[in-house]
Structures are given as structure tokens and as C-alpha cells.
Structure 1
Amino acid sequence: MTVPATAAVQLTGVRLDRGGRTILRDLDLVVPRGSITAVLGPSGTGKSTLLAALTGELVPAAGEVRVFGQSVPQGSRDLLEMRKGIGVLLQGNGLLTDLSVAENVALPLRAHTRLPEPLLQRLVAMKLNAVGLRAAADLYPRELSGGMARRVALARALALDPPLMLYDEPLTGLDPIASGVIMSLIRRLSRSLGLTSIIVSHHVRETLPIADQAVVIANGGIVFDGTPAQLESSEDPLLRQFLHGEPDGPIPFEGAVPRTRAAGAHA
């Protein structure tokens, strides 16, 4: 596979195992710098496992993962240095309940820089302003709505100005209005800051409109890699089943017994 110099993320022949079981196999993927890539697929298909490989949390059983041209390191010091350039928005936000909003956002800056306190506080205010929450600096996580908490977590993920942002199911637990706000923020911040963004989600209708690239994971591998328009116009039965939420098709419902197997059981 020929990889352009503008690639932010490159996976070549990657196999990812957990607990001795192969979750994803034969992964070949290029994510261009400055793009927004949606990684879609049914729940439990390995989307979050893919993110774990990008952050170095999970070492591939085979193949290579490269971030901005460098192979993801395994040594703890080199891995920590690489992770400074990756912002991660977790499903559960990960906010510390005994710290204020401002203190939560300041955490990465305190851990990885030696900035003077006045400058650190100005940076925190800038990050909160970027997500529309500067006035909430002194609140605590328990005082926030779900959408506000997600935006605080986003501000914290952006604290070190990472060139690569990873979003793990950013719309989980949010109502439609909060979901729209979060997706609008992701698009605006990605464009204005020149970020490369990878959004793992099963919320197709909310995610595709802001994406440049769409990747679908199902049945243990990548089953589609192209533009959102190409995905939506595809006649592939598997892709149409996923996009339209059909219960029957090539993607088995989690926990369901495949038809062929069920038929054989009665033979």
C-alpha cells in the first residue's frame, strides 16, 4: 500500500487480539492529516479496540501502526511522549468529581508542562471558551448536564493542543440537542485548529455529515473505506443493513444464533 506523506495515521496488515481472541484482522487504513474520519460499525465490533491500538494501549499481534510517520512505540517513556500529541475524548468523560471544571481542564497542563500559573489559567480559560463554557469554570462535574460534562472533557482533551484527536462514542448518553452541539464543536475545532480527528461511533446520521472519510468495521475487519457519499450510495447488503438499522442481514445481531447454524441444529 502506497502511503502519502500527508498521512496522519497508517495501519498496515494489523491484527488486534484480546484475551487470546482475534478481534480485528487484516487492517489496512490511511487517515489523511487534517481530515475528519468516522469509524462506524455495530456495537461490539472492535471500534474501541482500534483506538486502543492508536494510543499504544494495545500492541498489535501482527502488522504496524504509525502515527504521523512514526511507529507507535512500546517503551513507556517514548509512548508517554507520543501520547502528548493525542487527545482522547472518552465515553464516560473521565472528569474528577472533586475538582472544579477549570481544575479538570488544567490537569494535562500541570502534568506535562511547567507553565507559570497565570499563563496556565489563561490557557484553561481559552480552552473553556472554545467549547462555550468559560462561565462554568468554578462549577463541579455534579453540577453539569451531560452535554456540558462532555464539552468540559473535550476542553481537557484539547489542553495540550494535540494534532490528533480521538473520540470514543462522543454522543453516548446525550439527547439530540446536546449531540448536535458536540458534533458541531468537533467539526469547528477540527477545521479551525487543523486537527486530524477520528470519531468512533455507531451514530451514523449524526456523524457522517461532518466526516471527510467513512470507515465501517464489521465481521472482524474493515468492510468499507471511502467518502460518506460513497457509503450512503452503496448497494452492498451489509452496508445497507447497518445504515438502515435492519435486524436481518450479513451482520448478525449480537448474541443471536446465525440462521444456518440454527437450521443445522434441527437437522
Structure 2
Amino acid sequence: MPESNTPAVRLADVRLDRGTRTVLRDIALEVPRGSVTAVLGPSGSGKSTLLAALTGELVPAAGTVEVLGQRVPQRKRELLELRKGIGVLLQGNGLLTDLTAAENVALPLRMHTRLPEPVIRRLVEMKLHAVGLRAAADLFPRELSGGMARRVALARALALDPPLMVYDEPLTGLDPIASGVIMSLISRLNDTLGLTSIIVTHHVHETLPVADRAIVIANARIVFSGTPAELQSSTDPLVRQFLDGEPDGPIAFDAAPQERAA
């Protein structure tokens, strides 16, 4: 087992390509265990590409990616084992429409464990209770509000008790009240379950209050890494343009693709 002081995530000199286009370069990042880290940046900046590298979906063109104390493997069997320790909340929820909330949450348990049904039912009840939706167990996704569906998806992501949670734009499509509920839930679960959380988002003001650390991605690189307070006080033009929502500045609204160096 990795030591507790080993970062939950470590990236060193990472370059990530999509075809002939370099999306991110020279990425160095450490995410301490037990922390909530916000990965911020404008749409199209490469936040989801970074997430793909953490889950092993995208192999880095250069550098190393370590998750939970080990280098992200490329062999399918080892990668599957690593992924069991990573809970991912997708921005589209990914709930199966013909399954109830309880059946959606039970799905990872039935696929990846040999637990008896009574135990699975009890675990599902516990996960739904953790997100405040035990009473919605028998509802189908079409019967849930946007915020409720997001919480069911969160319960499913927690089903296998992963030590690392990654949230991909968790506030997309939610109203301000539902957004507040989700962010409060993320913070509470991180503390009570001893998780490490990475929130990939462009919702700055909703995310920073629950974050311990923040990084900002722009122009294919990390342009800021520090505490939320340091971020708010930054005078860097790239950071200020993003935080203040300015249309003109060093971050191009429609940047030309960056070709990979020969």
C-alpha cells in the first residue's frame, strides 16, 4: 500500500495529444491525499483531457501520470483494477434510463463484486442515504429532477468506496440551489469518507469555497497553482481574464490548434 503522504495524483512533465494536436504540455501537478482540488479553465482548455489521462483513457505522449501511488498502467487488467479505486461523476450523469435509482447504484457492485444480494441492497441503501435520496430508490431517471439525478450518479460513483473521486463539470445544467447542494455534498463526503476529490469545472465561484487547492489551465498549460485565496488575489493577466470573464485578453476565444512538435 502507498504511504499516506504519497500524493493521490502526481503528474510530471506530461504532454497530452489528441491526434496531431497537443492539448496540454509541460504539466506538473500533485494532489495531496484528503484534499479537494479544483481544476479550472475555460471551455476547451483541456480539463477533460487531463481527466482522461488520470483514468487511463488517454496515454500521455510524454511524461508520467501516477494515481494512488502507482503509474497508470496500460494493460487492461491492471487498468481495470486501478479504475475501481477512482469514482467518476460524469457531467451527463450516465444513468441507465430503464433502471431505477437503486438499480443504477447497484450496477457497479454487481459487475465488480460477488457480494450476495442482501448485502448489495444494504450498501445501495447506504449510498443513497449518503446523498439524501434513500426515498427515491424506486424512481426512474425520468422521474428525477436534475439535481436528484446528479446525486444518484454520485451515489453510484461511490458504490465501490473509491479513495479518489473525480467530478467532471458536476454543476452543468443545474440551477443555483441544486448547485449549492451538490458542492456542499462533495465537501461533506470528502471529509466524512476520507476521500481525495478533483473537481474539473469552469464554475469558479461555486467551486472555490469547498476547494483546498486550485489550478487554472489555459493556453495548453497550467497558468496557476495555489490556494483559492491566492487565486482570487492573482494579478496574472491570464488568470484575471478567466476569473473576470473578460472577452479580450491573452486567452484566445477561438484558439488555433497547436500542432505537435516534430
TM over 0.5: yes
Q: CA deviation at 1:17?
A: 0.3
Q: How does 1:166-205 map to 2 (within 5 A)?
A: 166-205=166-205
Q: CA deviation at 1:73?
A: 0.2
Q: Deviations over 1:12-56 (max 9, x none)?
A: 000000122100000000000000000000000000000000000
How many residues are matched?
253
Distance in 1 (alpha carbons) for counterparts of 2:135 and 2:187 = 22
Aligned to 2:108: 108
Structure 2: state its 5+ residue gaps.
257-262
Q: CA deviation at 1:252?
A: 1.1
Q: Match of 2:200, SS?
A: strand
Distance in 2 (alpha carbons) for counterparts of 1:140 and 1:21 = 41
TM-score norm. by structure 1 comes to 0.93
Q: Deviations over 1:119-166 (max 9, x none)?
A: 110000000000000000000000000000000000000000000000
Aligned to 1:135: 135
Aligned to 1:260: none
Distance in 2 (alpha carbons) for counterparts of 1:11 and 1:161 = 24
Structure with the greater alpha carbon radius of gyration: 1
Distance in 2 (alpha carbons) for counterparts of 1:75 and 1:22 = 24
Q: CA deviation at 1:61?
A: 0.3
Distance in 2 (alpha carbons) for counterparts of 1:255 and 1:177 = 34
Q: Match of 1:127, SS?
A: helix
Distance in 2 (alpha carbons) for counterparts of 1:82 and 1:240 = 37
Identity among equivalent pairs (%)? 80
Aligned to 2:259: none
Contact 2:5 2:33 survives alignment (8 Å): no
**Which runs of structure 1 show a deviation greater than 2 angstroms over 4 or more consecutive aligned residues?**
none
Contact 2:165 2:198 survives alignment (8 Å): yes
Aligned to 1:55: 55
Distance in 1 (alpha carbons) for counterparts of 2:57 and 2:196 = 20
Q: Deviations over 1:37-91 (max 9, x none)?
A: 0000000000000000000000000000001220000000000000000000001
Task: Say which is worse superposed, 39-48 or 242-251, in terms of deviation.
Answer: 242-251
Aligned to 1:92: 92
Question: Which residue type is aligned with residue 86 of structure 1?
Answer: I
Q: CA deviation at 1:254?
A: 2.8
Question: Which residue type is aligned with residue 58 of structure 1?
Answer: L
Q: CA deviation at 1:118?
A: 0.6
Q: CA deviation at 1:178?
A: 0.3
Distance in 2 (alpha carbons) for counterparts of 1:198 and 1:120 = 27
TM-score norm. by structure 2 comes to 0.95
Aligned to 2:46: 46
Q: CA deviation at 1:255?
A: 6.0
Aligned to 1:35: 35
Q: Match of 1:15, SS?
A: strand
